[in-house]
Structure 1
Amino acid sequence: MRLTPKDEDDEIIVSKKGLAELRRQAEQAEERAKEIERLRREIAELRRRLQVHENPNVPPSVRNHSPGYARARPLVPSDKRKKPGSKPGHEGVTRPPLTPDQQVALTADRCRKCRSHRLRLRGTETQQEIEVERKRRVTEYTVSVYECLDCGEEVRATLPDGNSPVGYGPQLQTEIVLGKIEERLPYRKLEERLTREGIPSCPATLQAVVWGASEKLQDEEAAILQRLRAAPWVHADESSYRIDGRKVWIWVFCTEVDLLLVIRPSRGREVVEEVLGKEYTGRIVCDGWKGYWGWVLQRCWAHLLRYAKAGAEVSEEGKELYGALCALHEQLTKNGKKVSRRTLARRLREGERVLRELLDRFGRSEAPGIEKVVTYLRNGMPWWLTFLKHRGMDATNNRGERGLREAIVIRKIIGTLRNWKGAKAFARLLSVLGTWKLRGENPSTKLYAALS
């Protein structure tokens, strides 16, 4: 029986059995408190990990496969989601025939079913078989070595083009470089490929070939840099990388026809000054990172819409703001590269008016998820509509992110680069090969010419 004192001086008499029960309850309460605290810490850690995959700065390609993303999908109605694969009635694609190196006529002299020889020709059809001939070619040069009778200098004979014979010819060097950079093969796999062709090699030799090719492309890289500095606008982005396990930053600067990647220890504005120059007068399309402050910017609308979409997942007002921003983006960018300057000026005035109205309307809202979107929108206000002042400029930085994609895929495969020399060679080769592809040129042909 539980007793309560009537006065402060009253005593409570508890039996030994009741005292044991009280102690047991106290121990249980203490254990429950510890368990609750442990679960709170675990929930906080799980939320932190989930935020890595579901924050607005994570691109949709990553968010689509993140835990918990399915509950955010109702923003897109199920009847409007596109199913993967070809749709019914889709016109098929047949491999186009190639110009044959040889033509062979196939005939039959008997029926396969009854073995009869009484056959009548009804027509012919054409089928092609493509095969690769694996054949290595080893050229041995006998190099004459002379001594100059006038000065005593040693003179060695060279090839007709003035170059000296090397261990691997330019075509083989081209295949090694493309295998390493374009096909993302490690040196061990490249060695196995060459071994199948009967070509002896080792990882150190292959690395020397790749680094040597990079050195021969220094002039190409310098030409890309000069064109970027003269461009009216440049897309820029950056992402973390690792060299020998230490965190560094890989930067991309690109236009429609040029791509430059650099790896630096810093994420600060000094990298932008080094690449574009302190006196760069063009515009920079970027995500708004403070390293770009000081130049005329075009803030990326894709980042803004991702922030707004995150807010739309937690409140009705967030959905309303997200819908308004999507509608405005669609209106401002429709046929953007084909409309007249007069139309762009009208869209600029309309966009400024709508953005001010959205800030006035949602600026003081206390709905969940709204404050962060409004702050992000307000902080970038001078730079959301720069693309309407320059015909042909993109409203998003998708081009910059695509320029980084190849390097990011390689980062996910290898984890870290080994040293700075290899990092510079890696960035230069990605830059030059990427530029050739943007210009519609054949990287294999261009690289062979550069290495010849």
Structure 2
Amino acid sequence: MTEMPTVAELLDIIRQLTARVAALEAENKALREENALLRQENTRLKKRISDLERKKNKYVAPHSREERQADPQRPGRKAGQGNFTNKQAPGFVTNEINVELPNRCPTCEFTGELTLSHFEKASVTELPSLPRVEVTVYNVPVVLCPQCGKKIRGEHPDLQAGQWGATAHRIGPQLEATIHTIRHEVAVSKRKLPRVLELLLGLKLTQSAINQAASRLAGDGSPLAKYVLELEKQLRQAAYVHHDDTGWRMGGEQAWVGAYRSEDVALFKVNPQHTSAELRAVLGEEFQGTLVCDRYSVYDAKQFAGMSQQKCLAHVIRNISDVAAQVKGRAGRGLAYLLRLKENVQDALKVHRDFQQGKTTERQFRFLGGLTRGRIHRLLSRTDLRTPESERLRAGLWKQEEKGRLLHFLEHPEIPPTNNAAERQLRRVVITRKVSQCSKNKRGAETHMRIKSVVETARLRGGDPVEVLVSLSR
């Protein structure tokens, strides 16, 4: 028979088991803590991988890519696109020279009179030795009133009020307008403008002189400032308005430049923040057109609930591509869903483009647009997606589709389906920001944006920005 353990033995076994349980509990606690740390590290690494994949797919200059594309597109014109011609003869001729007839054949060494076949035209376009500006000095009489002793200055139409003393010597309207056009249309930095003027005109100006001229031209209450207010009113009456913004600085502090673009108006506004209040201040309460924009949360504010909007499909396609890169290689059909959604969005753009180019009739446009919209609607209304990234994107797009803001252009083909126009308007602003320190204060920023609004609007309307600025300076 097996002997029953004594009480002392049982107590010893209990002590051993208790110690073993305590050790296992301590080990289990340490493993749980280590597991939590590993989970955090795993989450961090997944996010890092996702960020690197997005960065790899993001557009960068070719020389800054870590890896070259396997099959890059060839540069230059694509087959069947655009017209290629040789450089045409100049439209006007200031001098003509007759070249002497040759009297020797370099092929057979024949010397003598050669038979004239025809004349060919060749030209050389050149600058004169150095263009010079014209400087006009006005001898302004200053007289004294015999009754009160006050000084009275003579007036001339070409002289501005207060043009005496430290501000007696100024640049003329034509030169000033040209300087601002070079600054805003060509995006030459203010620091380089004096050197450009010296090279082209032999004129020496300081940055301060250029800044003062800009302040006088576009200051509060000036004809140019009033003209910009008129442009703002015209913008509110437009059928559609593009809007986008980019960063700026005023006195070293963060600010934002908003670009507003209709068919023939370009308006720029600078503000210390970019909220729905700034957007509403420009568009006003009476705006009845369509706002073309991206999916930034500002445009979903309650005060814009009744506003017609068209979300930029170029951004949507880019968002789909980014998410597709994240889910690539995972189990499930998330990637196939995203590729199918992207294909249908691209089809919607093609339907609109073909109609705008006259390849399809309005009836065909309505029919094809309806088919494409139905496919996109069915894809976005699905609720069985298991990939978090795909579901997040689908939910965001479905929210806009329910409000009629995703495919609005299929009902109104005059509305552009992308916000490319606003992004193009901001390119020179971005260049200026990169090559300068932006603005020292709000007054300088507003002056800059007012002049830019006039220059870009003139370009949109096919006019000469110099002529428009000259007309607003008198």
How would you bin the TM-score normalised by the shorter chain? 0.7 to 0.9
Match of 1:141 among 135, 138, 141: 138
Match of 2:385 among 365, 377, 381: 365
Question: Larger deviation: 111-120 or 293-302?
Answer: 111-120
Work out whether 1:353 is the aligned partner of 2:356.
no
The structural deviation recorded for 1:151 is: 7.1
CA gap of 1:400–1:194, structure 2 versus 1, over 3 A, is closer
Match of 1:238 in 2: 245
Matches within 5 A, 1:211-222: 211-215=215-219, 216=222, 217-222=224-229
CA gap of 1:154–1:45, structure 2 versus 1, over 3 A, is farther
Question: Larger deviation: 397-406 or 324-333?
Answer: 324-333
Match of 1:378 among 394, 398, 403: 398
Work out whether 1:98 is the aligned partner of 2:102.
no
Deviations 1:27-50 (A, max 9, x none): xxxxxx9xx999979957854763
Amino acid at match of 1:171: Q
Q: Give the number of equivalent residue pairs.
A: 412
The structural deviation recorded for 1:392 is: 0.9
Question: Larger deviation: 184-193 or 154-163?
Answer: 154-163
Which SS does the other structure have where 2:127 is aligned?
coil
CA gap of 1:342–1:427, structure 2 versus 1, over 3 A, is same
Work out whether 1:398 is the aligned partner of 2:420.
yes
CA gap of 1:349–1:186, structure 2 versus 1, over 3 A, is closer
Match of 1:188 among 185, 191, 200: 191
Work out whether 1:50 is the aligned partner of 2:64.
no
Separation (CA, whole Å) in 2 of partners of 1:249 and 1:52: 25
Which SS does the other structure have where 1:334 is aligned?
helix
Amino acid at match of 1:177: H
Separation (CA, whole Å) in 2 of partners of 1:132 and 1:321: 56
> Structure 2 length normalisation: TM-score?
0.74
Q: Is the 8 A contact 1:300 1:397 kept in 2?
A: yes
The structural deviation recorded for 1:119 is: 4.2
CA gap of 1:211–1:62, structure 2 versus 1, over 3 A, is farther
Match of 1:451 in 2: 473
The one of the two structures with greater contact order (alpha-carbon pairs below 8 A, sep at least 6) is 2
CA gap of 1:91–1:342, structure 2 versus 1, over 3 A, is closer
Separation (CA, whole Å) in 2 of partners of 1:405 and 1:309: 24
**Percent of matched pairs sharing the same residue:** 23
Separation (CA, whole Å) in 2 of partners of 1:109 and 1:96: 24
Separation (CA, whole Å) in 2 of partners of 1:175 and 1:331: 43
The structural deviation recorded for 1:92 is: 3.5
Q: Is the 8 A contact 1:259 1:435 kept in 2?
A: yes
Q: Is the 8 A contact 2:191 2:207 kept in 1?
A: yes
Match of 1:279 among 277, 286, 292: 286
Deviations 1:116-148 (A, max 9, x none): 994446243332222223223222211122345
Match of 1:14 in 2: none
CA gap of 1:87–1:282, structure 2 versus 1, over 3 A, is closer
Structure 2, unaligned runs of 5 or more: 1-12, 18-34, 164-168, 329-334
Work out whether 1:252 is the aligned partner of 2:259.
yes
Amino acid at match of 1:281: Q
Which SS does the other structure have where 2:454 is aligned?
helix
> Structure 1 length normalisation: TM-score?
0.77
The structural deviation recorded for 1:305 is: 1.4
Work out whether 1:409 is the aligned partner of 2:431.
yes
Amino acid at match of 2:183: K
Structure 1, unaligned runs of 5 or more: 1-6, 11-32
The structural deviation recorded for 1:316 is: 2.9
Deviations 1:245-264 (A, max 9, x none): 32211111111111101011
Amino acid at match of 1:422: G
Match of 2:29 in 1: none
Q: Is the 8 A contact 2:311 2:417 kept in 1?
A: yes
Matches within 5 A, 1:79-90: 82-86=73-77
